[in-house]
Structure 1
Amino acid sequence: MAKILIVDDAKFMRLTLSNILKKAQHEIVGEAETGIEAINLYRTLQPDLVTLDITMPEMSGLEAMREIKKEFPSAKIIMCSAMGQQKMIVEAIESGAKDFIVKPFDESRVLDAVERVLN
């Protein structure tokens, strides 16, 4: 069972991911709506894994990931993005994301990514 931090500016998306992950016996230790919140929560909670939306107000998921990775090089981060953001996905992987999941979320794809990143 992993401790997971979910970051997305849309409550519905956080809820959807949370439900998928809880069903697979993972513990949701926190949720954040912005990149800044994500960084602060990461420091406090030190989760095993973060799911991070690319597109958010104030600070993008990419910027938040870079900040987290700077402080915690071993952080495990899965980026989430809507269809058609291939360029951003490539950038995310190059910046240190371990995997990415595309919205709308496919349950088996989410769980595959999570298992692969954690193991």
Structure 2
Amino acid sequence: MSKRILIVDDASFMRMMIKGFLTKHGYTVADEAANGAEAVEKYKQVSPDLVTMDITMPEMDGIEAVKAIRQMDPNAKIIMCSAMGQQNMVVQAIQAGARDFIVKPFQEDRVIEAIKKVLA
């Protein structure tokens, strides 16, 4: 059975790009969310195997969303997505419970490598 992934990013073109990488490599996109609050709700609904989470989003940022999801599911597998130069936020994300991070602009092989590593 292919792994189900929740894609969280406020930019629809970023979600589309990640979705393209995932489906090409045999993963199933369980759902998508445009902000952290939506991500927490969708996580409850679809119980994905993994989440790709943007850091900077409206309503609730990625770090708060990671904390909320990890409270519900301590074993949640989350990969943070950040733009260049957000190192301090990446550190906060890892402390909050993210398993890995990928930097925008995304490189397909790096995205897939991070997903395989976290799901392993």
TM-score (norm 1): 0.99
Which structure 2 residues correspond to residues 40-55 of structure 1 after superposition, within 5 A?
40-55=41-56
Matched, 1:101 2:102: yes
1:45-104, Cα deviation, whole Å (9 max, x unpaired) = 000000000000011000011000011100000000000000000111111100000001
Structure-1 residue corresponding to 2:10: 9
- Which residue does 1:21 correspond to in 2? 22
Matched with 1:31 is 32
Q: CA RMSD in A?
A: 0.5
SS of the counterpart of 2:102?
A: strand
Number of residue pairs matched? 119
Hey, what's the Cα distance between the residues in 2 that align with 1:93 and 1:64?
Answer: 13
- Structure 1 residue runs without a partner (length 5+): none
CA distance in 1, matches of 2:50, 2:39: 12
1:89 paired with 2:104, answer no
Which amino acid counterpart does residue 96 of structure 1 have in structure 2? G
Q: Distance in 2 between matches of 1:100 and 1:22?
A: 20
SS in 2 for 1:58: coil
Secondary structure at 1:5's aligned position in 2?
strand
Aligned letter for 1:29? Answer: A
- The 3-state SS of whatever aligns with 1:89 is helix
Residue 26 of structure 1 and its aligned partner are, at CA, apart by 0.1
- Describe the superposition over 1:4-63 as per-residue Cα deviations: whole angstroms up to 9, x where unpaired: 000000000000000001100000010000111100000010000000000000110000
